[in-house]
């Protein structure tokens, strides 16, 4: 069985493969861009669940157009960092926070000197900047992930969402190099290291928690011979 990811992010694919390796070893995981011409998906939802659903639906409908009716399972994921001191931001804007209007927008003048940074680094730097501009060194925060499974099996429509949360705090001194995104400034609850320093990150991440629920649902479907 193929599980088609509604993402072109190689980091997310690697993490999803690692999480499903033991629970769903017979599923082949591929990015949608490997079987479809790449296209932009407008994420205009107001929540992680809405954006995850938008992405899954876009890829599923594209598969139907390109390949016709068939058995497809599409998995999408939308996730982000929600910082209490920033009113829940960057939230659903986490992937592009460095370009979002927020606060007094003094960030804009600083960002003009950051062209040599990657997008991930710019987004992280924006969070650090916003905290420091409020004279804060840390804040309670949570990583949230919503996974949407959509498709058709045995003539039954599949559509279910799963949400995972990892509580913790953000700090203003990035540490570690094993993660991506905001991992270097996020310290999970009951830990003293950031996600970018924790080798077992996949065992505690917000994405894992959502994907484990999704995987259990998929296993249940297989055991019941695709009776949804």
- Domain locations along the chain: 2-223
Q: Where are the beta strands (DSSP E) in 86-190?
A: 138-153, 156-171, 186-188
Q: What SS3 class is residue 1?
A: coil
pLDDT of residue 214: 93
Token readout for 213 is 């629920």
Fold of 2-223: Maf protein (3.90.950)
Average pLDDT over residues 210-217: 91
Nearest to 76 by CA among 43, 52, 48, 93: 52
Give the catalytic positions in this structure: 78
pTM of the model: 0.89
Confidence band of 40 (pLDDT split at 50, 70, 90): confident
Tens of pLDDT, residues 134-173: 999 999 999 999 999 999 877 778 899 999 999 999 999 9
**Alpha helix locations (H) across the chain?**
10-23, 48-67, 107-111, 119-132, 201-204, 206-223
Is residue 173 within 8 Å of residue 196, measured between CB atoms? no
- Given a cut of 60, is residue 227 above it in pLDDT? no
End-to-end CA distance of the chain: 17
Angle at alpha carbon of residue 110, lines to 107 and 112, rounded to 5°: 115
Residue that wins the pLDDT comparison between 18 and 63: 63
C-alpha radius of gyration, the chain, whole number:
18
φ/ψ of 63, rounded to 5, equals -65, -40
Alpha-carbon distance values, 142 to 132, 186, 219 (Å):
19, 9, 28
Is residue 188 within 8 Å of residue 117, measured between CB atoms? no
Cα distance between residue 228 and residue 207, in whole Å = 24
Tens of pLDDT, residues 74-88: 999 999 999 999 999
Cα distance between residue 131 and residue 86, in whole Å = 8
Token readout for 181 is 């995104």
């Amino acid at each position: 069985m193929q599980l088609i990811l509604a993402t072109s992010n190689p980091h997310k694919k690697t993490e999803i493969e690692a999480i499903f390796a033991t629970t769903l070893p017979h599923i082949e995981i591929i990015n949608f861009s490997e079987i479809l011409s790449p296209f932009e998906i407008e994420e205009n939802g107001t929540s992680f669940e809405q954006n995850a659903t938008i992405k899954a639906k876009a890829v599923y409908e594209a598969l139907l157009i390109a390949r016709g009716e068939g058995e497809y399972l599409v998995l999408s994921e939308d996730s982000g960092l929600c910082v209490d001191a920033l009113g829940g931001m960057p939230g659903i804007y986490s992937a592009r926070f460095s370009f979002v209007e927020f606060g007094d927008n003094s960030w804009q003048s600083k960002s003009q000197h950051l062209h040599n940074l990657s997008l991930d680094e710019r987004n992280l730097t924006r969070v650090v900047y916003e905290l420091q501009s409020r004279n804060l060194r840390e804040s309670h925060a949570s990583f949230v992930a919503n996974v949407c499974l959509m498709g058709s099996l045995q003539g039954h429509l599949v559509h279910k969402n799963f949400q995972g949360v990892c509580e913790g705090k953000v700090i203003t001194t990035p540490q570690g190099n094993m993660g991506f995104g905001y991992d270097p400034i996020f310290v999970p609850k009951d830990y003293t290291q950031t996600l970018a320093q924790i080798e077992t990150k996949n065992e505690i991440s917000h994405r894992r928690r959502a994907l484990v629920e999704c995987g259990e649902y998929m296993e249940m479907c297989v055991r019941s011979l695709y009776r949804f």
